[in-house]
Amino acid sequence: MSNLITPPTTDPGPVIRLLYCLVCQTIDELPLFDGVPENDHLLQIAIEPHQFPSGEPHRGHLFRIPQLSWGSPAAKKQIIEQIKGGGSAGIDEFDPEFYATRNTFQEDALKCYNAHLRPTDGCPDYNTPAKRLLPNTKADRKELGLVDPSKAPGPKNYLCNFCPIQSVVQGKLNALRGDL
């Protein structure tokens, strides 16, 4: 079995990240982020639900995977086996969907897209403050004297970036710039 998790020595092309929670046994897909960890708002949002009732965080691992490998069903199955460390199939033996991976941001964006009746020419909520993805760290930041997360440096991520309407908006921007 080849090791698809370890990056190859050649350029793997576009890369995604997989967040594996050791407690929940879930795998979440996240886009690549190359900045300082404090500004990785999507990762912070993804790990927020992974905590015990006491507030103690779950433990997990973050992997970088070539997008091309993740797109292949056979390779995806092999990657999941490697992440989960082989061994027993556990509940997956009885319910194959139990350990299904998820792309939470894309799922939420599709719910919004459907709620807006699948617009084809734009969206009234596109990149509005209500659609901005921010971690729930406002209280912690205030306590430490740090800037509010909505004003913090780093990328500005919106749920709209994961929506089908993003390609329509990007196409319009390209046309305005003459990048047809």
| Per-residue confidence (pLDDT) for residue 39, from 0 to 100 | 85
| Per-residue confidence (pLDDT) for residue 90, from 0 to 100 | 52
CB 160 within 8 A of CB 127: yes
| Per-residue confidence (pLDDT) for residue 95, from 0 to 100 | 54
Closest to 2 measured CA to CA, from 79, 92, 88, 116:
79
pLDDT in tens, the chain (180 residues): 455 555 555 677 889 999 999 988 899 999 999 888 888 889 999 999 999 989 899 999 999 999 898 988 888 888 888 888 754 455 555 555 555 667 888 889 999 999 999 998 889 999 999 999 888 887 887 888 888 878 877 788 899 999 999 988 888 888 888 876
| Per-residue confidence (pLDDT) for residue 45, from 0 to 100 | 92
Domain ranges of the chain: 15-93, 104-177
Backbone angles phi, psi at 12, to 5 degrees: -80, -5
Structure tokens at 172: 């319009």
| Per-residue confidence (pLDDT) for residue 89, from 0 to 100 | 53
pTM: 0.64
What burial letters (b/e) apply to 69-99, b meaning 16+ CB within 10 Å?
bbeeeebbebbbebbbeeeeeeeeeeeeeeb
| Per-residue confidence (pLDDT) for residue 1, from 0 to 100 | 44
